[in-house]
């Protein structure tokens, strides 16, 4: 045996995922298709928000959804009722979507519709505030939802999720009068973790803030498409 | 790792250590990573290798006075000097295989 040799590598552990994410992004760009990665804890209201968003936005834009779920197609079934292309991605025991899964989802979507005809692809990630934040899928923007029933401290407890987000939607805001919840404290915790993020308060029940969320999406689509 | 090993001629080397750099501001728990690695390589060509982890501190830069500081969640990650929000992260997001120590058979 010889003396040990140290070989410098300096390779990202998530290199394979990042590489696939880049390939996904190139595909999205070639299709002129804006991709949003929508993340939150389970029950923060991702699917409900998509339901009400799609009803309005689908009048203006061509939309498709990749629906990540661990074990069921329940959320995908809800969104399919809105007559938009939906591809369920069941992750099995994995707690997040990765770039390979999204690539597979995109291939299935290509069988349903020509993505050239789409404006935006919404990817609903698996409910989890930890792992989805580390796994790029090729998205152009990350959107994180945080419902006020989860507590003001979540941006501090799960800082990477909220640091990585381009937009943070504070959901279930209609419950504010019924909870002992300090919205200013939450906003301060968001700002200290990620001062650059856009923040919108929203309710899927009263629809408050829905116009701001739709404006945010519309502007991103129009800017992406150089319209 | 496989790509690297093929270049080195996998059959002629023994990997001793895989040296990682893991930032404090990542979703990786070092002990879980080590346990998973040990389970994953059992019976494989990496069976005799081990992982070492160098923890890279989570360091931010105060955007008001440019001082470097170690953000703490107890302080909302704000700079202790100016109580300013965390804008710039200097280190702590690393997830790297820094180097591999190996011997030729």
Residues whose CB falls within 8 Å of the CB of residue A127, separated by 6 or more in sequence, listed in order: A40, A41, A42, A43, A44, A46
Cβ distance A161 to A133 under 8 Å?
Answer: yes
Say whether the ipTM exceeds 0.85. Answer: no
State the average pLDDT for chain A: 94
| Per-residue pLDDT tens digits for A162-173 | 999 999 999 999
Chain B CB within 8 Å of residue A191 CB: yes
Cβ distance A76 to A57 under 8 Å?
Answer: no
Q: Do B100 and A6 touch (CB under 8 A)?
A: yes
Q: Do A131 and B103 touch (CB under 8 A)?
A: no
pLDDT computed for residue A92 by the predictor: 87
| Proportion of chain B above pLDDT 70, given as a percent | 100
Instruction: List, in sequence order, every residue forming a beta bridge with A34; answer none if it has no partner.
Output: A120
Chain B CB within 8 Å of residue A193 CB: yes
| Per-residue pLDDT tens digits for A196-209 | 999 999 999 999 99
Q: Provide the number of CB pairs (under 8 Å) joining chain A to chain B.
A: 84
| Per-residue pLDDT tens digits for A50-85 | 999 999 999 999 999 999 988 888 999 999 999 999
Phi, psi at A202, each rounded to 5°: -150, 150
CA angle B99, B100, B105 (to 5 degrees): 155
Chain A CB within 8 Å of residue B87 CB: yes
pLDDT computed for residue B78 by the predictor: 95
Chain B CB within 8 Å of residue A93 CB: no
pLDDT computed for residue A190 by the predictor: 97
User: Which of A1, A11, A131 lies at the smallest CB-CB distance from B103?
Assistant: A1
Cβ distance A9 to B93 under 8 Å?
Answer: no
Q: Do B85 and A6 touch (CB under 8 A)?
A: no
Pairwise CA distance, residues A165 & A144, whole Å: 6
Residues whose CB falls within 8 Å of the CB of residue A111, separated by 6 or more in sequence, listed in order: none
Structure-token pair, residue A103: 């690539």
pLDDT computed for residue A2 by the predictor: 59
Q: Which DSSP letter does residue B101 get? A: E
Q: Nearest chain B residue to A157 by CA: give it.
A: B73
Global pTM? 0.90
- Going by their DSSP bridges, the two strands B13-23 and B50-56 should be labelled as parallel
Residue by residue, what is the 3-state secondary structure of A8-77?
A: EEEEECCHHHHHHHHHHHHHHHHCCCEEEEEECCCCCCHHHHHHHHHHHHCCCCCEEEEEEECCCCHHHH
Residue A8 has pLDDT above 60, yes or no: yes
Q: Do B95 and A134 touch (CB under 8 A)?
A: yes
pLDDT computed for residue A115 by the predictor: 96
Pairwise CA distance, residues B63 & A165, whole Å: 20
């Amino acid at each position: 045996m010889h003396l040990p040799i140290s070989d410098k590598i300096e390779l990202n552990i998530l290199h394979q995922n990042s590489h696939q994410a880049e390939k996904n992004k190139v595909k999205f760009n070639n299709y002129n298709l804006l991709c949003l990665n929508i993340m939150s804890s389970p029950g923060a209201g991702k699917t409900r928000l998509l339901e009400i968003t799609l009803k309005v936005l689908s009048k203006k834009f061509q939309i498709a959804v990749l629906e990540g779920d661990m074990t069921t197609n329940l959320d995908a079934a809800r969104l399919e009722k809105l007559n938009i292309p939906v591809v369920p991605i069941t992750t099995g025991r994995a707690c997040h979507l990765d770039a390979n899964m999204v690539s597979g989802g995109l291939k299935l979507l290509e069988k349903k519709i020509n993505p050239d005809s789409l404006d935006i692809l919404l990817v609903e990630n698996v409910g989890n505030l930890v792992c989805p934040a580390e796994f790029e899928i090729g998205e152009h923007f990350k959107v994180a939802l945080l419902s006020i029933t989860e507590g003001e401290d979540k941006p501090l407890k799960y800082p990477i999720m909220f640091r990585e987000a381009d937009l943070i939607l504070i959901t279930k805001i209609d419950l504010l009068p019924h909870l002992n919840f300090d919205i200013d404290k939450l906003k301060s915790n968001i700002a200290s973790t990620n001062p650059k993020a856009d923040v919108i308060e929203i309710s899927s029940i009263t629809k408050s803030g829905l116009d701001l969320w739709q404006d945010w999406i519309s502007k991103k689509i129009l800017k992406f498409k150089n319209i | 790792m496989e790509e690297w090993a093929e270049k080195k001629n996998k059959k002629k080397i023994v990997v001793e250590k895989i040296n990682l750099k893991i930032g404090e501001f990542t979703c990786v728990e070092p002990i879980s990573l080590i346990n998973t690695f040990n389970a994953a390589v059992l019976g494989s060509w990496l069976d005799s290798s081990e992982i070492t982890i160098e923890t890279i501190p989570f360091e931010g830069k105060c955007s008001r006075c440019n001082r470097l500081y170690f953000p703490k969640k107890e302080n909302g990650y704000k700079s202790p000097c100016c109580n300013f929000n965390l804008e710039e992260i200097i280190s702590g997001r690393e997830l790297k295989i820094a180097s591999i120590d190996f011997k030729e058979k």
